[in-house]
Amino acid sequence: MADQPTEIQRAVDDTQRRQQMLQLLITEHLTLQTARSGAIAEVNGRATLFLGAVSSALIALAFIGQVSRIGSAFYAFGLVLFPVLLFLGVATFERTVATSIQNALYLREINRIRHFCTEMIPEASRYFVLSIHDDEWDVGLRVGAVSMGWQSFLATAGMVGVVDSVLAGVLAALALMLLPGIDLIAPIAVGIAVFLLSALLHQRCQLSSSRRVHREIPVLFPTPPVGEARA
C-alpha cells in the first residue's frame, strides 16, 4: 500500500507531461503550417517574377527584331538580354529547389506530430486521411512534394529548369550565328543539344538535393511494407 500513492503520482505526472507535450506539438504544427504558407508564397512569387521578366524580354526582343530587320542590333540585344534572363532563371531555380526541400521537411515534421497523436489516441488514426509516416515515400510521392524521374519537370523547380534550358539553348544558338559562314542547321543543332544537357543537369541537381537532405534526416516512422495497412 505504501507504493500506491507513488504509482498514482507517476501516472498523474505522466499524463500531465503528455498533455503539455501535445500542446507544444500543436503549437509547432501551427508554426509549420505558417512556414509552409510562406514558402509556397515565395516560390510562386519568384516563379511569377521570372516568367514575367522572360515574357517582357521576348516582347522587347521582337520589337528590336522588327526595327533592325534581324540585323546586328538584334543579335547584340539578344546576347545581352539572354545571359541576364539565364542568371535570373538559375537563381530562381536554386531558390525554388531549396524552398521545396524546406516544404518537404515541414511536411515530415507534421507527419511526426500526427503520429504522436495516434500514439496518444490510437483510434484517432481512422480519421486521418494523410499519412503518419515520415519517410521519403510518404512525405514526397504521396503528397506530390518531391517528384521522381520525369515527374520532376512538373514541379515548379522543374518548370523553371526547362525555361532556363530553353534560354541557354537560344543563347548558344545566337552566339553561334555570329560566326562567319554558319548556316541555320548548326545553330539549331547546338541549341537543341545545349537545351537537353541543361535540362538534364537541372533535373539531376533538383533530385540529388532532395535525396541528400532526406538521407541526412533519420526516419522514425517508416511506411509499412506492401501488404500491411498504411495510415
Report the domain count for the chain: 1
Spatial contact of 58 and 85, defined as CB atoms under 8 Å apart: no
Residue 224 is assigned to a structural domain of this protein = no
Residue 111 CB: number of other CB atoms within 10 A? 24
pLDDT over 90 (residue 2): no
Phi and psi based region of residue 71 (left: phi greater than 0; alpha: psi -120 to 50; beta: remaining): beta
Which pLDDT score is estimated for 231? 44
Which range of residues forms the domain containing residue 97? 12-216
pLDDT (tens digit per residue) in 5-56: 577 777 667 778 878 888 888 899 999 999 999 999 999 999 999 999 999 9
pLDDT (tens digit per residue) in 53-87: 999 999 999 998 888 888 888 888 899 999 999 99
Residue 91 CB: number of other CB atoms within 10 A? 14
Residue 4 is assigned to a structural domain of this protein = no
pTM for this prediction: 0.81
- Under DSSP, the state recorded for 146 is S
Residue 225 is assigned to a structural domain of this protein = no
